[in-house]
Structure 1
């Protein structure tokens, strides 16, 4: 299974995705809601590199990003802190988690 979309659409539908999938992001630009995202089931990817990572994502210009479980948790955590968050706050929460491996703290 391979799904290509943008970060905005992925985050809208993230709760309907299986938690065990993995997200890769376009490596050519800064992270934004328009960033291209590739969702894959790692277990279904047969072609592997020497580190046992799937070769398909980098061959298409994607780099490792976050798991779908991470994206689900980021959205859930933000919603618990601020139920009426806006897209820019969700983007900042995703970027913060990606860069710090921790949830952003929102002052609402």
Structure 2
């Protein structure tokens, strides 16, 4: 099972995904520069991803705390917090990119 991470230049990288893992953990554990400061507690908004609009119908609706966190941080129309997306077989092939506000930059 895979998720597809698209970079800013449109290049795609297929990442092995494990059922039950948070999408944030999958991205982070593959070594991509996602900030994810709170580690999945829905308390910082720094794991924001932009989901390919064709996939949004397969995702559960965001809870109120996720919506609050997205409101506090710049969020695009297709933004979600990757810590709140649990990978399931239905999400095999999920396409997304790390939102600019969640990209860690080299110091």
TM-score normalised to structure 2 length: 0.25
Larger Rg: 1
* Normalised TM-score (structure 1): 0.25
More helix by proportion, 1 or 2? Answer: 1
